[in-house]
Each structure stands twice: as structure tokens, then as C-alpha cells.
């Protein structure tokens, strides 16, 4: 299992880059935003990777941030969503926007992504909402009126999305604004944005 690659980008194509690691070139599938960042990179880059092994191919999918990799793994766990669809989805919508669309059960936001029709949107919401059912009601309710509860629920939601407890708590803590001013959804959005910055 190849979990991480560090090296220099020597070639870039349509949604892929070749990274030279001590004389060995690894072709890695990347999202459009990552491709734009790496295409002209001259310094050493590091990608967190997911290795998919099929009968006819071994494919590496690369991400600049661990949170993107976690979201990719969550997506490919959804029935009918394969790696290419997941990469397409992550190329067109930010993690925070996607998470909020799922939490709000916003099918319209999801169907605006090419390759995601009404059935796929419903499936994403159904399967990912079930993954988060412990905190679902609180998230839909929004304001809790208690900062500590909002923070707890935001951390729980991020953990349910596949992030580690520590990573979730650190991101939510960094995102907490003035007391009483944020709903659970605001905290989640801000925390996801903080994770993306890392």
C-alpha cells in the first residue's frame, strides 16, 4: 500500500501528474484544483495517496491535504460512486461546501456537479446522512444555544465524516469565533476550511 509520495513533478496531463521519486516516476490521479497547483511546481511536493488495485490496473489517487483523502475514501464507500466520480466531485466542489450540502440535504447543490444526477445525489445524502445519524438532528436544528454543545456536535459530525477525533477537535477549536455567534453548521464549515489550509 502506497500511502504517501514525495518528489518532484516531471509531467502533468489531464487530471494526472507524474512524480519523480529518486528516479522512479509515479503517475498519480489528482483533482483539477490540485493539478493547477502542481502543474508548474518546481519544489518537492508531498501527496497523501489512495492506492486502488483492480484486476487490470493499479491506480494512485493523490491529495495535498489529508482531509481531501478522507473525503475521497468516504465517497468511494457510497454505493455507485467509484474513484473517478469521487475525483470529479472533488474537482468541482470544496469539501466544506459538499459537507454542508449533505448536512442540509441539498440535492440541488449536488446535482449541479457533472456526473451526479438526482439518484446519485439522493444516494449520497442517504448513505452519508446515515453515517452521521448520531448528530443529524442537532445539525439540522442549527443553533443549540450552548457553545459547548455546538462545539461537541461539530466535532462529532467531523468524526462521523471520517476525520480523526484530534484533528476534528483542533480544527473546531481554531474555528470558534465569539461566544454565542455560531451555529453547528457554521462551526463545521469553518473547521473544514481550517483543515483545508493545513
Decide if pLDDT at 138 tops 50. Answer: no
Written out in words, the top-level CATH class of the domain with range 4-63 is mainly beta
Comparing 137 with 120, which gets the higher pLDDT?
120
Decide if pLDDT at 144 tops 60. Answer: no
Give the per-residue pLDDT at 141: 43
pLDDT tens digit string along 11-64?
A: 999 899 999 999 999 999 999 999 999 988 889 999 999 999 999 999 999 999
Mean pLDDT of 155-172: 80
Give the per-residue pLDDT at 29: 97
Span between the terminal Cα atoms of the chain, in Å? 24
Q: How far lies 43's CA from each of 10, 20, 37, 72, 116, in Å?
A: 11, 12, 12, 25, 35
Give the per-residue pLDDT at 142: 42
- In 3-state terms, what secondary structure has residue 47? strand
Q: How many CA atoms lie within 13 A of 3 on its CB side?
A: 2
Q: Is the whole-model pTM more than 0.75?
A: no
Comparing 143 with 160, which gets the higher pLDDT?
160
Q: Where are the domains of the chain?
A: 4-63, 95-198
Give the per-residue pLDDT at 146: 42
pLDDT tens digit string along 72-119?
A: 998 999 888 899 999 999 999 887 778 778 878 889 989 998 888 999
Amino acid at each position: 500500500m502506497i500511502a504517501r509520495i514525495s518528489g518532484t513533478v516531471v509531467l502533468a496531463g489531464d487530471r494526472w501528474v507524474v512524480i519523480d521519486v529518486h528516479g522512479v516516476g509515479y503517475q498519480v490521479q489528482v483533482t483539477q484544483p490540485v493539478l493547477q497547483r502542481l502543474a508548474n511546481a518546481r519544489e518537492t511536493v508531498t501527496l497523501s495517496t489512495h492506492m486502488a488495485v483492480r484486476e487490470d490496473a493499479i491506480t494512485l489517487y493523490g491529495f495535498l491535504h489529508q482531509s481531501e483523502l478522507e473525503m475521497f475514501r468516504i465517497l468511494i464507500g457510497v454505493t455507485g460512486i467509484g474513484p473517478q466520480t469521487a475525483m470529479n466531485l472533488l474537482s468541482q466542489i470544496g469539501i466544506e461546501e459538499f459537507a454542508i450540502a449533505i448536512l442540509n440535504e441539498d440535492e440541488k447543490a449536488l446535482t449541479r456537479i457533472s456526473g451526479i444526477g438526482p439518484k446519485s445525489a439522493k444516494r449520497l445524502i442517504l448513505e452519508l446522512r446515515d453515517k452521521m445519524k448520531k448528530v443529524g438532528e442537532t445539525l439540522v436544528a442549527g443553533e443549540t444555544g450552548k457553545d459547548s454543545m455546538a462545539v461537541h456536535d461539530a466535532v462529532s459530525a467531523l468524526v462521523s465524516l471520517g476525520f480523526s477525533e484530534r484533528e476534528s477537535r483542533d480544527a473546531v477549536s481554531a474555528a470558534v469565533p465569539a461566544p454565542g455567534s455560531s451555529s453547528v453548521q457554521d462551526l463545521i464549515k469553518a473547521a473544514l476550511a481550517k483543515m483545508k489550509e493545513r
